């Protein structure tokens, strides 16, 4: 059975497809050479090369380079901060102390007030937070920071040059909160009122 004549566009497509197929397949190239020289072609017929595939189907585009995901910035809820501020005010009169104009007081008066505020703030923190030092070494100790140290927990100060490992002195051990135990709030509670106004009757 004779094949129908191939149109010019079909021959062009076949030629282009064959060109790339011959470039990529040494056995096919050898068979085409034998065919053009009039030699017998191997009895095992090769699968026909799809003529229109290279032209009709473009090569898949390379996958776009996707940048590393940026850490999402979440808006902090003010509820816990307001709750802590309320606890510090209730137990240590913290806001009263900070808002007071202390320019007219002498150092002894300020020191006495600061002692009371300190005691209340310390009791509040110890009741509602478990706080531990970031570094276990005593301040003034020499330490070596290996490559890959946690830069969110350790801040380098002074003459920072080069790359890790770094040798330095612990000037502050840092603090890390391990547990938080804030009281639960009822829905009707307005956390923005950190200290209600007092009206004496």
Of the pLDDT bands very low, low, confident and very high (cuts 50, 70, 90), residue 30 is confident
Please compute the mean of the pLDDT values over residues 154-179 and round it to a whole number: 94
The 10s digit of each residue's pLDDT in 114-138 is: 999 999 999 999 999 999 999 999 9
pLDDT of residue 198: 94
Q: Does residue 22 register a pLDDT over 90? A: no
Q: Find the angle CA(164)-CA(167)-CA(170) to the nearest 5 degrees.
A: 120
* CA dist., res. 92 & res. 101, Å (int): 17
Of the pLDDT bands very low, low, confident and very high (cuts 50, 70, 90), residue 67 is low
Establish whether the linkage from the previous residue to 29 is cis, with ω within 30° of 0.
no
Please compute the mean of the pLDDT values over residues 105-112 and round it to a whole number: 93
Is the whole model's pTM more than 0.85, yes or no? no
Task: Give bridge partners of residue 168 from the DSSP assignment.
Answer: 143
Listed range (32-36, 68-72, 85-89, 162-166) with the worst mean pLDDT:
68-72
């Amino acid at each position: 059975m004779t094949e129908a004549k191939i149109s010019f566009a079909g021959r062009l497509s076949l030629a282009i497809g064959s060109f790339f197929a011959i470039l990529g397949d040494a056995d096919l190239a050898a068979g085409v050479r034998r065919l053009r020289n009039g030699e017998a072609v191997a009895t095992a017929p090769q699968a026909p090369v799809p003529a229109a595939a290279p032209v009709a189907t473009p090569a898949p585009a390379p996958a776009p380079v996707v940048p590393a995901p940026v850490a999402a910035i979440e808006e902090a809820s003010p509820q816990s901060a307001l709750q802590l501020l309320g606890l510090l005010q209730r137990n240590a009169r913290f806001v009263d102390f900070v808002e007071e104009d202390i320019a007219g007081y002498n150092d002894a008066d300020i020191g006495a007030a600061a002692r009371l505020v300190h005691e209340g703030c310390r009791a509040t923190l110890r009741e509602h937070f478990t706080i531990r030092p970031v570094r276990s070494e005593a301040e003034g100790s020499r330490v070596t920071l290996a490559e890959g140290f946690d830069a969110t927990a350790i801040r380098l100060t002074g003459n920072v040059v080069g790359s890790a490992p770094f040798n330095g002195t612990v000037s502050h051990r840092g603090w890390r909160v391990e547990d938080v135990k804030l009281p639960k709030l009822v829905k009707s509670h307005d956390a923005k009122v950190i200290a209600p106004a007092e009206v004496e009757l």
